[in-house]
Amino acid sequence: MQYSTFNLIKEGFVGHKNWPAAWTTPALKKSYDAVIIGGGGHGLATAYYLAKNHNLTNVAILEKGWIGGGNTGRNTTIVRSNYFYPESAAFYDFSLKLYEGLSNDLNYNIMLSQRGQMTFAHSQHDLEMIRRICNAMQLNGVDASVLTPDEIALRIPNLDVSRKARHPIWGAVVQERAGVARHDAVAWGYARQASKLGVDIIQNCAVTGFQIDRGRIKAVETKRGIIKTDKVGIAVAGHSSVIAEMAGFRLPVQSYALQAFVSEPLKPALDTVVVSPATGVYVSQSDKGELVFGSALDLYTSYAQRGNVPVLEDTVAGLLALFPSFSRVRMLRQWAGICDIVHDSSPIIGHTPVVGMYINCGWGTGGFKAIPAGGYTFAHAIAHDTPHPLAKPFTLDRFKSGALIDEAGAAGIAH
């Protein structure tokens, strides 16, 4: 049933008893045209675009836990396209444009709030660098402007902009179209539409191995039986290396935990997204009033979804250096997601050494903003066995050819 004011009123008269489940829970079939491993944002979006754009509906999504329960449900929900290189800007701006129309496309309110994102300069040198990034963004056709300390102080009254601040504010580059979206809604919205188009969402179904014959994928082994298929798409973020090992190849990926933190709800105090490269902190305020913030990766590789204390201390110290008035705020929750870190902070979308097997990984700490474009271009790669034009620079081959797209500097925080 369509989510609409009309249906809401209609259902109001009959006690809201007819709303169907947002997605169905089908039985696992013996074979599929394509199997997507990973029911996070990227996996769900991939299945949706396979069905919608490529008419491939005999598709299963296999999820080890529950959909949207990994990094999709464990991030700071920032969407932006303030990248430096033309390849990245084109890709991430396409993603942001899809986000801008996503609530209508999915008939599901993803609560996109384009409240702008500021990246601070804390010194004369920072200021020169953000001017350079601003110029690059404008040349790439992405909206950007530089704000003076006075303009920043007007927009963020509780920010410490004094000259005596530990990290003084010299300016900021702002992307007004950036903002936040409701992370769970993105997963659920994609799941609902994918399910409606015929995709089977199979939860609690861990992959245990693959059947590969002469370098070609034949079947996926799971805890619930063997599934025959000619095409497999892997979208498992931090666990990419684990799945790749099952299929017998290696990836240029290292898995690190990235923590995020939520405070108790406050009255409206911050109506933009703030990134401070010097402290490593990024923070926004959710619609419920909680401060949602995070900073750098944990210090060593990890598959433990909990995070460690030194980074927590650094993050809180950084936040308070920027906003001294938050010092009495109590923390509500902390969690960590496992991020697939690659050397150039750019994604890997497309072929693997196994024929019929494709991978979507390498998003590192910024996969959420890329969900629509990641799914869109990955679906293209799976359906046509060739990279989408926007994803051509982001294949696995670049680690052999050397054509890296080193976005580490422009991603805001040096992870």
Partner 1 sequence: MMKITCPFCGARNENEFHRGGEAHIARPQPSMDTSDDVWGEYLFFRDNPKGIIVERWRHTYGCGQWFNVTRDTVTHEIKAVYDIEAPKPAIDAQ
* Position 239 contacts partner 1 (CB under 8 A): yes
Q: Which stretch binds partner 1 (CB under 8 A): 16-24, 111-119, 147-155, 304-312?
A: 304-312
DSSP single-letter state for residue 276? E
Buried b (16+ CB within 10 A) or exposed e, 62-90: bbbeebbbbbbbbbbbbbbbbbbbebbbb
- The interface mask with partner 1, positions 259-298, x = CB under 8 A, is ----------------------------------------
Question: How many other CB atoms are found less than 10 A from the CB of residue 352?
Answer: 22
Angle CA 98–176–283, to nearest 5: 95
* Position 343 contacts partner 1 (CB under 8 A): yes
Nearest-angstrom CA–CA distance, 50 and 43: 10
* Position 364 contacts partner 1 (CB under 8 A): no
User: CA-CA distances (angstroms) from residue 42 to 130, 149, 214, 273?
Assistant: 30, 38, 29, 23
* Position 253 contacts partner 1 (CB under 8 A): yes
Nearest-angstrom CA–CA distance, 267 and 290: 9
DSSP-derived pairing of the beta strands 179-180 and 207-213:
unpaired
State the nearest-atom distance from the C-beta of 358 to partner 1, in Å. 18
* Position 255 contacts partner 1 (CB under 8 A): yes
* Position 131 contacts partner 1 (CB under 8 A): no
Give the type of residue at 300.
Y
* Position 300 contacts partner 1 (CB under 8 A): yes
Judged by beta carbon, residue 160 or residue 340, the one nearer partner 1 is: 340
Q: Which stretch binds partner 1 (CB under 8 A): 3-11, 66-74, 249-257, 357-365?
A: 249-257
State the nearest-atom distance from the C-beta of 219 to partner 1, in Å. 23
Q: Could you say which of 71, 81, 175, 302 contacts partner 1 (CB under 8 A)?
A: 302
DSSP single-letter state for residue 364? T
Q: Residue 36's closest CA among 71, 70, 64?
A: 64
Judged by beta carbon, residue 139 or residue 299, the one nearer partner 1 is: 299
* Position 334 contacts partner 1 (CB under 8 A): no
Question: How many other CB atoms are found less than 10 A from the CB of residue 393?
Answer: 20
Nearest-angstrom CA–CA distance, 389 and 141: 18
Judged by beta carbon, residue 236 or residue 292, the one nearer partner 1 is: 236
Judged by beta carbon, residue 159 or residue 253, the one nearer partner 1 is: 253
Nearest-angstrom CA–CA distance, 38 and 187: 12
Left (φ > 0), alpha (ψ -120 to 50) or beta: where does 293 sit?
beta
Q: Which stretch binds partner 1 (CB under 8 A): 121-129, 323-331, 376-384, 398-406?
A: 398-406
Judged by beta carbon, residue 139 or residue 304, the one nearer partner 1 is: 304
Tokens at residue 281, please? 């902190």
Q: Which stretch binds partner 1 (CB under 8 A): 45-53, 81-89, 248-256, 371-379?
A: 248-256
Q: Residue 358's closest CA among 346, 366, 347, 368?
A: 347
Q: Could you say which of 24, 211, 254, 334 contacts partner 1 (CB under 8 A)?
A: 254
* Position 399 contacts partner 1 (CB under 8 A): yes
Residues contributing to the site for partner 1 (CB under 8 A): 239, 241-242, 245, 250-255, 299-304, 308-310, 342-343, 399-402
